Amino acid sequence: MFWVFVWASVSVALFAFSPSDAKAQVQGVGKSIKASSFGLKFANFLRGSGWPDEAVVFALATLPVIELRGAIPVGYWLQIKPVVVTALSVLGNMVPVPFLILYLKPLATFLAGTNKSASRFLDLLFEKAKRKAGPIEEFQWLGLMLFVAVPFPGTGAWTGAIIASILDIPFWSAVSANFCGVVLAGLLVNMLVNIGLKYAVVACILMFIASGFMWSVLRFLKKRLNSSSSC
Protein backbone atom coordinates (compact mmCIF):
# COMPACT_ATOMS: atom_id res chain seq x y z
CA MET A 1 0.00 0.00 0.00
CA PHE A 2 2.90 2.38 0.75
CA TRP A 3 4.40 1.92 -2.72
CA VAL A 4 1.00 2.37 -4.36
CA PHE A 5 0.72 5.67 -2.44
CA VAL A 6 4.17 6.76 -3.66
CA TRP A 7 3.49 5.67 -7.25
CA ALA A 8 0.17 7.52 -7.33
CA SER A 9 1.69 10.68 -5.81
CA VAL A 10 4.53 10.74 -8.33
CA SER A 11 2.06 10.13 -11.17
CA VAL A 12 -0.01 13.15 -10.14
CA ALA A 13 3.06 15.34 -9.71
CA LEU A 14 4.56 14.43 -13.07
CA PHE A 15 1.27 15.00 -14.84
CA ALA A 16 0.59 18.28 -13.05
CA PHE A 17 3.97 19.82 -13.86
CA SER A 18 4.49 18.26 -17.28
CA PRO A 19 5.31 20.89 -19.95
CA SER A 20 3.48 19.00 -22.69
CA ASP A 21 0.43 20.46 -24.40
CA ALA A 22 -2.83 20.25 -22.41
CA LYS A 23 -4.80 18.97 -25.38
CA ALA A 24 -2.41 16.07 -25.83
CA GLN A 25 -2.79 15.23 -22.15
CA VAL A 26 -6.57 15.17 -22.45
CA GLN A 27 -6.40 12.91 -25.50
CA GLY A 28 -4.14 10.59 -23.53
CA VAL A 29 -6.72 10.14 -20.78
CA GLY A 30 -9.77 10.18 -23.05
CA LYS A 31 -10.08 6.41 -23.14
CA SER A 32 -9.71 6.21 -19.38
CA ILE A 33 -12.96 8.08 -18.71
CA LYS A 34 -15.28 5.83 -20.70
CA ALA A 35 -16.33 4.16 -17.47
CA SER A 36 -17.56 7.54 -16.24
CA SER A 37 -20.15 7.95 -19.02
CA PHE A 38 -22.96 8.79 -16.60
CA GLY A 39 -20.69 11.26 -14.84
CA LEU A 40 -19.89 12.89 -18.17
CA LYS A 41 -23.56 13.20 -19.07
CA PHE A 42 -24.33 14.74 -15.70
CA ALA A 43 -21.31 17.04 -16.02
CA ASN A 44 -22.52 18.25 -19.42
CA PHE A 45 -25.97 18.88 -17.95
CA LEU A 46 -24.51 20.98 -15.13
CA ARG A 47 -22.24 22.88 -17.50
CA GLY A 48 -25.21 23.58 -19.73
CA SER A 49 -26.97 25.00 -16.68
CA GLY A 50 -24.15 27.48 -16.20
CA TRP A 51 -22.13 25.71 -13.51
CA PRO A 52 -18.36 26.41 -13.54
CA ASP A 53 -16.18 23.38 -14.18
CA GLU A 54 -14.77 23.30 -10.64
CA ALA A 55 -18.28 23.27 -9.15
CA VAL A 56 -19.23 20.43 -11.51
CA VAL A 57 -16.37 18.25 -10.24
CA PHE A 58 -17.19 19.07 -6.60
CA ALA A 59 -20.89 18.25 -7.13
CA LEU A 60 -20.16 14.95 -8.88
CA ALA A 61 -17.92 13.84 -6.00
CA THR A 62 -20.75 14.33 -3.49
CA LEU A 63 -23.05 11.89 -5.28
CA PRO A 64 -23.39 8.19 -4.40
CA VAL A 65 -22.04 5.68 -6.94
CA ILE A 66 -20.14 8.41 -8.87
CA GLU A 67 -18.19 9.77 -5.88
CA LEU A 68 -14.51 10.61 -6.25
CA ARG A 69 -13.78 7.73 -8.63
CA GLY A 70 -16.09 9.27 -11.23
CA ALA A 71 -15.39 12.94 -10.49
CA ILE A 72 -11.62 12.81 -11.05
CA PRO A 73 -11.78 11.40 -14.63
CA VAL A 74 -14.39 14.05 -15.47
CA GLY A 75 -12.07 16.72 -14.05
CA TYR A 76 -9.30 15.54 -16.38
CA TRP A 77 -11.75 15.69 -19.28
CA LEU A 78 -12.59 19.28 -18.28
CA GLN A 79 -8.84 20.09 -18.37
CA ILE A 80 -8.68 21.17 -14.73
CA LYS A 81 -5.27 20.87 -13.08
CA PRO A 82 -4.88 17.43 -11.43
CA VAL A 83 -4.05 18.89 -8.02
CA VAL A 84 -7.20 21.06 -8.11
CA VAL A 85 -9.32 18.15 -9.37
CA THR A 86 -8.09 15.89 -6.58
CA ALA A 87 -8.66 18.51 -3.87
CA LEU A 88 -12.18 19.30 -5.11
CA SER A 89 -13.04 15.60 -5.41
CA VAL A 90 -11.78 14.76 -1.93
CA LEU A 91 -13.68 17.67 -0.36
CA GLY A 92 -16.84 16.88 -2.33
CA ASN A 93 -16.70 13.19 -1.47
CA MET A 94 -16.41 14.06 2.24
CA VAL A 95 -19.48 16.33 2.30
CA PRO A 96 -22.10 13.59 2.94
CA VAL A 97 -19.92 11.60 5.37
CA PRO A 98 -20.61 13.40 8.68
CA PHE A 99 -24.34 13.64 7.92
CA LEU A 100 -24.58 9.92 7.16
CA ILE A 101 -22.68 8.99 10.31
CA LEU A 102 -24.73 11.24 12.57
CA TYR A 103 -28.23 11.10 11.13
CA LEU A 104 -28.70 7.91 9.10
CA LYS A 105 -29.78 5.67 12.00
CA PRO A 106 -32.07 8.31 13.58
CA LEU A 107 -33.61 8.86 10.14
CA ALA A 108 -34.18 5.11 9.75
CA THR A 109 -35.85 4.99 13.19
CA PHE A 110 -38.08 7.93 12.30
CA LEU A 111 -39.08 6.49 8.91
CA ALA A 112 -39.85 3.09 10.44
CA GLY A 113 -42.95 4.61 12.01
CA THR A 114 -43.95 7.03 9.25
CA ASN A 115 -43.01 5.78 5.79
CA LYS A 116 -42.92 2.03 5.20
CA SER A 117 -41.54 2.26 1.66
CA ALA A 118 -38.61 4.45 2.70
CA SER A 119 -38.07 2.24 5.75
CA ARG A 120 -37.86 -0.88 3.57
CA PHE A 121 -35.38 0.86 1.27
CA LEU A 122 -33.15 1.78 4.22
CA ASP A 123 -33.43 -1.77 5.58
CA LEU A 124 -32.19 -3.12 2.23
CA LEU A 125 -29.41 -0.52 2.26
CA PHE A 126 -28.37 -1.56 5.76
CA GLU A 127 -28.42 -5.27 4.88
CA LYS A 128 -26.24 -4.65 1.83
CA ALA A 129 -23.81 -2.60 3.89
CA LYS A 130 -23.67 -5.21 6.66
CA ARG A 131 -22.55 -7.86 4.16
CA LYS A 132 -19.48 -5.72 3.47
CA ALA A 133 -18.84 -4.73 7.08
CA GLY A 134 -16.76 -7.75 8.15
CA PRO A 135 -13.27 -6.29 7.74
CA ILE A 136 -14.38 -2.94 9.20
CA GLU A 137 -15.95 -4.59 12.24
CA GLU A 138 -12.77 -6.63 12.68
CA PHE A 139 -10.16 -3.87 12.20
CA GLN A 140 -12.21 -0.74 13.04
CA TRP A 141 -10.31 2.44 11.97
CA LEU A 142 -7.77 0.67 9.77
CA GLY A 143 -10.41 -1.54 8.19
CA LEU A 144 -12.66 1.44 7.41
CA MET A 145 -9.79 3.46 5.96
CA LEU A 146 -8.64 0.64 3.68
CA PHE A 147 -12.21 -0.18 2.65
CA VAL A 148 -12.79 3.41 1.51
CA ALA A 149 -9.33 3.67 -0.10
CA VAL A 150 -9.94 0.94 -2.70
CA PRO A 151 -11.88 2.67 -5.50
CA PHE A 152 -14.12 -0.24 -6.51
CA PRO A 153 -17.90 -0.20 -7.03
CA GLY A 154 -19.59 -0.84 -3.70
CA THR A 155 -16.80 0.75 -1.67
CA GLY A 156 -16.13 4.44 -1.12
CA ALA A 157 -17.06 7.16 1.35
CA TRP A 158 -20.84 6.67 1.11
CA THR A 159 -20.71 2.95 1.93
CA GLY A 160 -17.96 3.52 4.49
CA ALA A 161 -20.04 6.14 6.29
CA ILE A 162 -23.13 3.92 6.25
CA ILE A 163 -21.17 1.02 7.73
CA ALA A 164 -19.62 3.32 10.34
CA SER A 165 -23.13 4.41 11.33
CA ILE A 166 -24.37 0.82 11.56
CA LEU A 167 -21.38 -0.27 13.67
CA ASP A 168 -21.59 2.82 15.91
CA ILE A 169 -17.96 3.73 15.27
CA PRO A 170 -17.15 6.97 17.16
CA PHE A 171 -17.80 10.05 15.05
CA TRP A 172 -14.30 11.52 14.73
CA SER A 173 -12.73 8.11 14.29
CA ALA A 174 -15.14 7.35 11.44
CA VAL A 175 -14.65 10.77 9.81
CA SER A 176 -10.84 10.60 9.99
CA ALA A 177 -10.78 7.04 8.60
CA ASN A 178 -13.06 8.07 5.74
CA PHE A 179 -10.93 11.14 5.01
CA CYS A 180 -7.65 9.20 4.89
CA GLY A 181 -9.30 6.55 2.70
CA VAL A 182 -10.74 9.15 0.33
CA VAL A 183 -7.34 10.87 -0.05
CA LEU A 184 -5.65 7.56 -0.86
CA ALA A 185 -8.48 6.64 -3.26
CA GLY A 186 -7.95 9.99 -5.00
CA LEU A 187 -4.29 9.22 -5.58
CA LEU A 188 -5.15 5.74 -6.87
CA VAL A 189 -7.78 7.08 -9.29
CA ASN A 190 -5.27 9.65 -10.58
CA MET A 191 -2.83 6.84 -11.21
CA LEU A 192 -5.44 4.74 -13.03
CA VAL A 193 -6.49 7.67 -15.24
CA ASN A 194 -2.90 8.47 -16.18
CA ILE A 195 -1.89 4.93 -17.15
CA GLY A 196 -4.79 4.55 -19.62
CA LEU A 197 -7.82 2.30 -19.80
CA LYS A 198 -6.10 -0.93 -20.86
CA TYR A 199 -3.50 -0.84 -18.10
CA ALA A 200 -6.06 0.50 -15.60
CA VAL A 201 -8.15 -2.66 -16.05
CA VAL A 202 -5.08 -4.80 -15.35
CA ALA A 203 -4.20 -2.61 -12.35
CA CYS A 204 -7.74 -2.95 -10.96
CA ILE A 205 -7.57 -6.74 -11.21
CA LEU A 206 -4.23 -6.73 -9.40
CA MET A 207 -5.60 -4.35 -6.77
CA PHE A 208 -8.60 -6.64 -6.24
CA ILE A 209 -6.32 -9.64 -5.69
CA ALA A 210 -3.99 -7.60 -3.48
CA SER A 211 -6.89 -6.34 -1.35
CA GLY A 212 -7.96 -9.92 -0.57
CA PHE A 213 -4.37 -10.82 0.29
CA MET A 214 -4.10 -7.67 2.44
CA TRP A 215 -7.03 -8.69 4.68
CA SER A 216 -5.46 -12.14 5.13
CA VAL A 217 -2.15 -10.59 6.17
CA LEU A 218 -3.88 -8.24 8.61
CA ARG A 219 -5.81 -11.13 10.18
CA PHE A 220 -2.60 -13.11 10.55
CA LEU A 221 -0.82 -10.17 12.20
CA LYS A 222 -3.78 -9.57 14.49
CA LYS A 223 -3.75 -13.20 15.63
CA ARG A 224 0.00 -13.03 16.25
CA LEU A 225 -0.36 -9.86 18.32
CA ASN A 226 -3.26 -11.31 20.31
CA SER A 227 -1.36 -14.53 21.00
CA SER A 228 1.76 -12.55 22.04
CA SER A 229 -0.22 -10.35 24.43
CA SER A 230 -1.94 -13.35 26.01
CA CYS A 231 1.37 -15.05 26.80
Q: Name the residue ranges covered by the structural domains of the chain.
A: 2-94+179-196, 96-177
Determine what percent of the chain is predicted with pLDDT higher than 70.
71
- What pLDDT score does 140 carry? 85
pLDDT band at 5 (very low <50, low <70, confident <90, very high): very low
Does the pLDDT of residue 23 top 70, yes or no? no
pLDDT band at 114 (very low <50, low <70, confident <90, very high): confident
Is the C-alpha dihedral spanning 102, 108, 114, 119 positive or negative?
Answer: positive
Which of 138, 158, 156 minimizes the C-alpha distance to 147?
156
In this prediction, residues 198-211 reach a mean pLDDT of 62
Determine what percent of the chain is predicted with pLDDT higher than 90.
28
Q: Which residues contact 158 (CB under 8 A, 6 or more apart)?
A: 64, 65, 67, 96, 100
Tell me which of 199 and 67 has the higher pLDDT.
67
pLDDT band at 50 (very low <50, low <70, confident <90, very high): very high
In this prediction, residues 34-50 reach a mean pLDDT of 78
Does the pLDDT of residue 161 top 90, yes or no? yes
Does the pLDDT of residue 130 top 60, yes or no? yes
Tell me which of 112 and 162 has the higher pLDDT.
162
Q: Determine contact, residues 217/142, Cβ cutoff 8 Å.
A: no
pLDDT band at 83 (very low <50, low <70, confident <90, very high): very high
- What pLDDT score does 208 carry? 61
- What pLDDT score does 202 carry? 64
Burial of 184 (0-12, 13-18, 19+ CB in 10 A): buried
